Chain A
């Protein structure tokens, strides 16, 4: 299994600013993903972070709001831009290997927008 770390673990940000979240995996992985978990809700996939190319976004999520980078096979960042209180959520990164089936999650970043 992969061990995944995220930074920061939590942050409080002002409306209109941006927050960049870092995700580090302890081994090279084929796929990395970013999810959002709104308060008291389940997880929703934001996008697939593609190494060396643009991320693939799910319906309802756009690059201007959630720019993603993945410079190598162990690291990715998610930026949440132009923050509003509705962006207050837990943001989680995950990783899956060549097998594809098993997917592991980081501890999450708890974002509060004031």
Chain B
């Protein structure tokens, strides 16, 4: 099956700084999804990407679907305390596994005032 690598594992940043994280796949993806999970909650969908090269924003969040279709990144600009949480990338388990997702290991973001 496809493997999905997410980095960095954790980030400690000051309020106001920008954050960047990325995911790479061993195979081509047709979808990239980015989620945020707060403690005690389920993952919340932040951004969905469907086309190579696609750049999509959601407020201070921006995500891009890599041109090679094997990578994606998520940027958070001007971080605030509520950005704290674990961010996961996700993609299809196989090219024909409609709806079945595999997840990256997650990036823990800690924001200090």
What would 14 A/B residue contacts be, using CB atoms closer than 8 Å?
A33-B100, A42-B104, A43-B88, A45-B93, A48-B100, A58-B100, A92-B42, A92-B43, A101-B33, A101-B48, A105-B35, A105-B44, A107-B41, A107-B42
Q: Complex formed: what's the CA distance from A81 to B88 in Å? A: 29
Q: How many angstroms between the C-alpha atoms of A4 and B42 in the bound complex?
A: 10
Is the pair B99, A43 in contact by a Cβ cutoff of 8 Å? no
Assess the B100–A42 pair: CB atoms within 8 A. no
A101 to B97, CA, bound (A): 11
Known: A45-B100, A101-B48. A108 touches B33 (CB 8 A): no
| Consensus secondary structure, chain B interface | loop
Number of residues on chain B facing chain A (CB within 8 A): 23
In this assembly, does B66 line the interface, its C-beta being within 8 Å of a C-beta of chain A?
Answer: no
Interface of A is mostly: strand
- In the complex, what residue of chain A is closest to B104 when comparing beta carbons? A42
Q: Which of B84-113 contact A (CB under 8 A)?
A: 88, 90, 93, 98-106
**How far apart are the CA atoms of A52 and B64 in the complex, in Å?**
38
